[in-house]
Amino acid sequence: MKLLVCVSKTPETTAKISFSGDNTQFNEAGVNFIMNPYDEWYALVRALELKEKAGGSVTIINVGPKANDTVIRKGLAIGADNAVRIDAAPKSSLFVAKQIAAHAKAEGYDMVFLGKETIDYNGSEVGGMVAELLDQPYVSFATGMEVNGTTATVTREIEGGEEVADIDTPFVLSASKGLAEQRIPNMRGIMMAKRKPLKVVPAIDAVDLAVIAGYELPPAKSAVKLIDPENMDELVRLLHEEAKVI
């Protein structure tokens, strides 16, 4: 089975978020970057499990500059066989999706995996875009998947519950919590990763149709109003009369 896992580089979850250049740029100074947790913990690991069971290969793809190679190497250390980096500084989700789809179309993967969202831009868009550009079905927010031949039985999150569906390859799947368990790369994996192929290819032409014009931080909260723990009637009164939420 030929599998592709799309990985993104994101600030770590505890990163302090600030902006520069008149609030038009994310300020990367002092920020540690990681592989997007949904891509690493769930999408990549589930793909590796499938390969270990049924054979085949796992390729990692990232759209980004050379600085992203550390994240790609981590994916190789966890167990992917090879990697492709589309050399670009992406500004929009559709640009990224067009790069991934062009590669996937040329290579013909059985499944394309990615996390349900990145923890920086939170758009949940790229998976659907890649699926549409490849004219393939899309399983979003998968929490479970079993594969039997060329048919997968997938469980996905829906409003207030879940849905179980059968789907034939090829397809695109976005991974949510529960699909797999995080794997920590071992020393052997880290050593081997240095020798695994990482191909750098130029980006195809694509226009950014939606770009970020500026950022702002959420308005600061005014100081907390402390309520006497013995007097919950007062809290209810404030929620009704002052906050007007009940």
Partner 1 sequence: MVLVYAESPKGKFKKSAFEAVTYGHKTAQVLGTQCVALTLGDAENAGQLGQYGASKVVSVGDAALNSFDSQVHAAVIANAAAAVGASVVVISHSSSGKALIGRLAARMDAGSVSAAKAVPTNDGAFKVKTNVFSGKAIAEYQINSDNKVISLMGNAIQPEVTGGDVAVEALTVEVPASRVTIKEVKTVEGTVPLPEAELVVSAGRGMKGPENWGIIEELATTLGATTACSRPVADTGWRPHHEHVGQTGVAVSPNLYIAAGISGAIQHLAGVNSSKIIVVINKDPEAPFFKAADYGVVGDLFEVVPRLNQALKDYNANN
Question: Between residue 33 and residue 62, which ones bind partner 1 under the rule CB under 8 A?
Answer: 37-38
Asked if 205 contacts 167 with a C-beta cutoff of 8 angstroms, the reply is: no
Of 192 and 238, CB closest to partner 1: 238
Q: Does residue 3 belong to the site contacting partner 1 (CB under 8 A)?
A: no
Q: Which two tokens stand for residue 85?
A: 């980096």
Minimum CB distance to partner 1 smaller for 17 or for 54: 17
Give the C-alpha separation, 123 to 93, whole Å: 8
Q: Site size for partner 1, by CB under 8 A?
A: 78
* CB-count burial class (<10 Å; 0-12, 13-18, 19+) for 24: exposed
Q: Which residue has the tokens 């950014």?
A: 208
Q: How far is the CB of 106 from partner 1 (least distance, A)?
A: 18
Strands, E, within 109-203: which ranges? 111-115, 138-148, 151-158, 161-168, 171-175, 198-202
Residue 46 and residue 30 in contact, taking contact as beta carbons nearer than 8 Å: no
The reply on whether position 6 binds partner 1 by CB under 8 A is no
Near partner 1 by CB under 8 A, which window of 51-59, 70-78, 123-131, 181-189?
Answer: 123-131
Q: Which stretch binds partner 1 (CB under 8 A): 51-59, 73-81, 186-194, 223-231?
A: 223-231
Residue 215, interface with partner 1 (CB under 8 A)? yes
Residues 195-214: x where in contact with partner 1 by CB under 8 A, - otherwise, as a string = -------------xxxxxxx
Rounded CA-CA distance 202/86 in Å is 6
What Cα–Cα distance (Å) separates residue 170 from each residue in 90, 160, 202? 26, 28, 25
Residue 82 CB, shortest distance to partner 1, in Å, is 26
Pick one of 57, 69, 88, 94: the residue that binds partner 1 (CB under 8 A).
94
The answer to whether 111 touches 43, Cβ cutoff 8 Å, is no
Stretch that binds partner 1, among 73-81, 134-142, 185-193, 195-203 (CB under 8 A): 134-142
* Of residues 54 and 239, the one with the C-beta less far from partner 1: 239
CB of 117 to partner 1, least distance (A): 8
Q: Does 239 bind partner 1 (CB under 8 A)?
A: yes
